[in-house]
Amino acid sequence: MNSGDHMHGMGGPPPSNGTTMMHRRHMMMHMTFFWGKNAEILFDGWPGYDNLGMYILALVVVFLLALTVEGLSHCKFLRGTTAAPAVMGMVQTALYTVRIGLGYLVMLALMSFNVGVFLVAVLGHGIGFFFFGSGAFNKQTAAAAVSGKGSDLPPVNC
């Protein structure tokens, strides 16, 4: 196999055909935990390089995503409604789909291997559970959590 027959992305220099190529500054993808504000979280180039404000915004977004996942995991929007079972099923399905989608976004953010992202995701889930799932603020919520009937949606199984 000569050097001109290689596949792009499989090593070796790209073929030179006289065209100019745009070069972008890419970070190396980390495969171990690291600490620092220079990370790409969820989107290409976000939060950017050497931009502490955008990094903090990214951490807030991940925290809110995790908090929302916990809120949806323990929601009680459908309690006491007399809607048709098909309508309730569609609402449950929509809530479940949103919860799973947001959970996947948190997981993808964690795949940046940034320690700050990891900490805010765990903190978001923990604080979300405290407010929405622990029953610390509502005796009925605590009783429902013990009986296993605390949410409209099935539990998240890891």
Q: Could you give the 3-state DSSP secondary structure of residue 21?
A: coil
Quick one: tokens of 5?
A: 């027959």
Enter the DSSP assignment of 45.
T
**pLDDT over 70, % of the chain:** 69
**Given this model, what pLDDT does residue 89 score?**
87
Q: Could you give the 3-state DSSP secondary structure of residue 55?
A: helix
**Given this model, what pLDDT does residue 83 score?**
78
Model pTM greater than 0.85?
no
Bridge partners, 34 (sequence order): 114
**Given this model, what pLDDT does residue 150 score?**
60
Quick one: tokens of 148?
A: 């296993």
Question: For residues 85 and 101, what is the distance between their CA atoms, to the nearest angstrom?
Answer: 24
Q: Print burial letters for 115-126: b (CB count within 10 Å at least 16), e (below 16).
A: ebbbebbeebbe
**Given this model, what pLDDT does residue 19 score?**
45
For the chain, residues with pLDDT lower than 70 are 1-28, 139-158
Cβ–Cβ < 8 Å for 95, 75: yes
**Given this model, what pLDDT does residue 79 score?**
74
Quick one: tokens of 30?
A: 């980390």
